[in-house]
């Protein structure tokens, strides 16, 4: 399929101050879009001026949330070149989410090329300041104009771009998280591994309640026993217990993060013992009390790594690494961002040049 390009006649003013970009507040001039119809497949892929979608009020996505998305970044390097980080893994994960949600898959190479071409068209929208990036949000929605509950026959896939600010303008900053012991995010046989809006819709209340108590994220426990540690809002979690890096296994309830995989790959290549296993909250809190929990951090595309300074379960608050940034946490942050920014060798072929 050829991707046609129609450029805008009315380019927007780019935000002049890159330090106030924030996340997902501004959008670039163009978007990628194509439609799907059962029996015909994906059709009419094109890059065109950013525009609103026109949906029938009966459109199935609005009622039954048959929706999936992805999130990845394009970076401008010091030499002026623009690259993406592991985009094919986002495309593969999109297809896994699609399978779970009864949505059509998209050829991985085609999808990577759609992203690459869109970023190339939008290259002037990739911000320049160190730490900033152009965030891509690929999204697929069901679009049958009928109220029956079943897999839709029509879909829309689009990609929009948001120039985004540095996540840590003044360096890594530890966060305070609350172990959630009332609400759950994902259950066995559910859709925890899919990047789908419903997983977020059901998590907003817990996040809002924790926010009122002064926490920036909740740490989810498993949905059966409320016993085993899963992940936080949009990040997987890793714990350095003694000298072992412990993280929840990909059991279908957690999101298989690409940052998670990248850090586990780095850790193994450096001879660090990695344990992908169930970790109970009791074991975690005991390790913290006894001084065995040395570091804790979240991993995700937005922040890369996010150190945890405080962890609270019920009424028990523990400090991790004296509330500071762990050595290994900082090391993984420096290495991964170094690969993204071209300062550290790309040993695992994670970088996709854009232009
Ligand atoms: C996107 C996401 C992550 C992180 O995945 P990355 O590929 O590393 O960005 C973790 N957990 C949830 C729930 C997510 O939606």
Pocket of ligand 1 contains residue 229 by CB under 6 Å: no
Q: Which ligand 1 atom minimizes the distance to the CA of 185? A: 13
Residue nearest to atom 14 of ligand 1 (CA): 234
Model confidence at 167: pLDDT above 90: no
Rounded Cα distance between 314 and 28, Å, is 43
Say yes or no to pLDDT of 16 above 90: no
Rounded Cα gap, residues 98 and 83, in angstroms: 26
Predicted local confidence at residue 170, as pLDDT = 75
**SS3 assignment, position 157:** strand
Token digits of residue 219: 């740490």
Q: How much distance in Å is there from the Cα of 97 to the middle of ligand 1?
A: 12
- The gap between the terminal CA atoms of the chain, to the nearest Å, is 21
Residue 195 Cβ inside 6 Å of ligand 1? The answer reads yes
**Interval between CA 98 and ligand 1 midpoint (Å):** 16
Q: Which residues contact 16 (CB under 8 A, 6 or more apart)?
A: none
pLDDT at position 303? 92
Q: What is the pLDDT of residues 56-92, one digit of tens each?
A: 999 999 999 999 999 999 999 999 999 999 999 999 9
Ligand 1 centroid to residue 302 C-alpha, Å: 9
Tell me, using a 6 A CB cutoff, whether residue 300 lines ligand 1. yes
- Once rounded to an integer, what is the mean pLDDT over residues 302-311? 94
Residue nearest to atom 12 of ligand 1 (CA): 234
Mean predicted lDDT score pLDDT of the chain: 96
Q: How far is 278 from 59, CA to CA, in rounded Å?
A: 40
Q: How far is the CA of 219 from the centre of ligand 1 (A)?
A: 13
Local confidence band at 121 (pLDDT 50, 70, 90 cut-offs)? very high
At 19-39, the pLDDT tens digits run 889 999 999 999 999 999 999
Whether the predicted model's global pTM rises above the 0.75 cut: yes
Q: Is the CB of 207 under 6 A from ligand 1?
A: no
Put residue 316 in one of left, alpha, beta given phi > 0 → left and psi -120 to 50 → alpha: beta
Q: How far apart are CA 280 and CA 321, in angstroms?
A: 20
Which residue minimizes the CA distance to atom 5 of ligand 1? 257
Q: Is the beta carbon of 71 within 6 A of some atom in ligand 1?
A: yes
Buried b / exposed e along 125-161 (16+ C-beta atoms within 10 A): bbbeeebbbbbbbbbbbbbbeeeeeeebbbbbbbbbb
Q: How far is CA 123 from CA 7, 107, 136, 201, 249, in A?
A: 13, 24, 13, 33, 37
Of 109, 49, 71, 47, nearest to 255 by C-alpha is: 71
Q: For residues 314 and 212, give the distance between their C-alpha atoms in angstroms, rounded to a whole number.
A: 15
What is the CA(203)–ligand 1 centre distance, in A? 14
* pLDDT at residue 173 greater than cutoff 90: no
What CA–CA distance (Å, rounded) separates 268 from 262? 10
The first and second tokens of residue 161, run together, are 């771009």
- Which CA distances in Å does 113 have to 6, 88, 97, 106, 259? 17, 10, 20, 12, 21
194 lines ligand 1 (CB under 6 A): no
pLDDT value for 169:
76
Give 71-138 as a 3 state SS string.
CEEEEECCCCCEEEECHHHHHHHHHHHHHHCCCCCCCHHHHHHHHHHHHHHCHHHCCCCCCCEEEEEE
Token pair listed for 160: 């929009």
C-beta 231 within 6 A of ligand 1: yes
- Mutate which of 23, 67, 229, 257 for ligand 1? The one with the most ligand atoms within 8 Å of its CB, which is 257
Atom of ligand 1 nearest to the CA of 299: 8
**Mutation choice for ligand 1 from 23, 67, 68, 71, CB with most ligand atoms inside 8 A:** 71
Query: What does the pLDDT average to over 206-219?
Result: 95
Residue 215 near residue 224 (C-beta atoms within 8 A): no
Strands 133-142 and 67-69: antiparallel
Q: What are phi and psi of 68, to 5 degrees?
A: -140, 160
State the Cα–Cα distance between residues 324 and 326, nearest whole angstrom: 6
Cα 59 to Cα 31, 141, 216, 247, distances in angstroms: 21, 9, 34, 39
- Report the atom number in ligand 1 closest to the C-alpha of 72: 9
Using a pLDDT cut of 70, give the percent of the chain over it: 100
- 3-class SS string, 288-306: HHCCCEEEEEEEECCCEEE
């Amino acid at each position: 399929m050829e991707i046609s390009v129609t450029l805008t006649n009315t380019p927007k003013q780019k935000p002049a101050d890159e330090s106030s970009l924030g996340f997902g507040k501004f959008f670039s001039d163009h978007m990628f879009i194509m439609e799907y119809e059962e029996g015909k497949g994906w059709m009419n892929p094109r890059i065109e001026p950013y525009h609103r979608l026109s949906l029938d009020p009966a459109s199935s996505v609005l009622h039954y949330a048959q929706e999936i998305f992805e999130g990845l970044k394009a970076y401008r390097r010091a030499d002026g070149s623009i690259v993406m980080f592991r985009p094919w893994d986002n495309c593969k994960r999109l297809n896994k989410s699609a399978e779970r949600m009864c949505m059509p898959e998209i050829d991985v190479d085609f999808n990577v090329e759609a992203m690459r071409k869109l970023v190339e068209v939008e290259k002037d929208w990739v911000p320049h300041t160190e730490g900033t990036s152009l965030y891509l949000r690929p999204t697929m929605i069901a679009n049958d104009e009928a109220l029956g509950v079943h897999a839709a026959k029509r879909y829309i896939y689009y990609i929009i771009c948001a120039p985004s600010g540095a996540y840590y303008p003044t360096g890594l900053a530890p966060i305070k998280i609350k172990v959630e012991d009332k609400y759950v995010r994902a259950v066995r046989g559910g859709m925890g591994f899919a990047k789908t809006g419903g997983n977020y819709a059901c998590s907003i209340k817990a996040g809002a309640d924790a926010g009122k108590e002064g926490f920036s994220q909740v740490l989810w426990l498993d949905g059966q026993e409320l016993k085993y540690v899963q992940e936080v809002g949009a990040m997987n979690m890793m714990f350095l217990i003694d000298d072992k890096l412990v993280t929840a296994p990909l059991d279908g309830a957690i999101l298989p993060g690409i940052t998670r995989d990248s850090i586990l790959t780095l850790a193994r290549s450096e001879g660090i013992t990695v344990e992908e296993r169930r970790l109970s909250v009791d074991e975690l809190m005991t390790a913290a009390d006894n001084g065995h929990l040395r570091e804790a951090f979240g991993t995700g595309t937005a922040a890369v790594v996010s150190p945890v300074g405080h962890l609270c379960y019920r009424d028990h608050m523990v400090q991790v690494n004296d509330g500071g940034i762990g050595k290994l946490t900082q090391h993984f942050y420096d290495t991964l961002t170094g690969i993204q920014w071209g300062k550290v060798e790309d040993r695992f072929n994670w970088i996709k040049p854009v232009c």
